[in-house]
Amino acid sequence: MPGPHPAVAATRLAVRRAVADAPAGSLVLVACSGGADSLSLAAAAAFELPKQGLRAGAVVVDHGLQAGSAQVARTAADHCHALGLDPVDVIRVEVTTADGDGPEAAARAARHAAFRAALLRHDATRLLLGHTRDDQAETVLLRLARGSGTRALAGMAADGPGPLRRPFLLSVGRAQTRAACAALDLPWWDDPHNEDPRFTRVRARRALQLLQDDLGPGLTDNLVRTATLARQDADHLDALAAVEAQALGESPWHVKDLESLPDALRTRVWRLLMARAGATAADVAAVHVASLDELVTRWRGQGAVDIPGGLRVARRERLIEVAPRPVE
């Protein structure tokens, strides 16, 4: 008896690996938009999770950004029900842009808030996302264009943060998810936003295709491999930095203890020290770290450095001190 279509087998294997550590009998949710990536993921989850002693449900997020979005969400939910997923939540979110956020970031924030709410509501242990190998390559290309560091070049993590899992990230490409849906006779929805050049990721996708046409079809795999290697390096450096930050203890810190650290460690240590002092790690940008580093490496008697989170860092002789920023 012939086995499943190779693309179907690839999606199922990816899901099986992603939930290997899920507690027996627990609920695993799938984020499904109705597109080929998430629909093939939903089908794979519906097939694999019961075999692993797990329950399978789905979350469909309606961003309300396009005419007919409610119908698209209902259709995606109907597919999930037909596949045997239960529960299936359809959640309408309000996408509002904050200062400095574009529509893509705002939609992602709203979507992830809905995911967190669904995880809590159903006491689910995992939520599977349908990002593919192609999505990872596009992410790395975007971050290369922005001049990002090693951690950013590591791309999206296959696991985490928390219960989020991306089964397809390294092993399944976008063409395979379409082939899997076709083999299973699952009609998918093509989001017109995926062809709209107003969105940065769409432009990155087109640029990647042009690069592959000129440099060869291996570019996507090479970018994904770069992300994997960068993640391994970043994880190791972060672990070393955590040890050094622990050894430094609380403020004040002696300059000699900081200047003895290699640059790649010291910049990471600064972020950890600021987070421990009360800063939000995501708000401590490269420009802040560079200013902090100059207190050690290019000391010219400069003034204190203000850090998001209401902190002020100053050098006094051979000591670095952090304190709450005075109210002005």
171 is in an annotated binding site: no
Q: Are 58 and 42 in contact (CB under 8 A)?
A: yes
Contacts 24+ apart (CB under 8 A), 62-70: 62/90, 62/91, 62/92, 62/93, 63/93, 63/95, 63/107, 63/110, 63/111, 64/92, 64/93, 64/94, 64/95, 65/95, 65/103, 65/107, 65/193, 66/192, 66/193
36 is in an annotated binding site: yes
Report CA-CA distances (Å) from 15 to 3, 33, 62, 88, 256. Answer: 17, 17, 24, 18, 49
26 is in an annotated binding site: no
Strands (DSSP E) found in 34-185: 55-62, 88-92, 126-128, 164-165
| 98/141 Cα distance (integer angstroms) | 25
34 is in an annotated binding site: yes
84 is in an annotated binding site: no
| 15/170 Cα distance (integer angstroms) | 12
What would the two tokens of residue 156 be?
A: 């999206």
DSSP state of 196: -
DSSP state of 159: B
What would the two tokens of residue 118 be?
A: 């669904």
Please name which of 287, 285, 294, 286 lies closest in space to residue 314, comparing C-alpha atoms.
Answer: 294
38 is in an annotated binding site: yes
**Rounded to the nearest 5°, which phi and psi values hold at 221?**
-60, -35
**Rounded to the nearest 5°, which phi and psi values hold at 86?**
-165, 125
| 31/4 Cα distance (integer angstroms) | 23
If you compute the radius of gyration of the chain from its CA atoms, what whole number of angstroms results?
Answer: 23
What would the two tokens of residue 114 be?
A: 């809905």
Annotated binding site for ATP: 33-38
Annotated binding site: 33-38
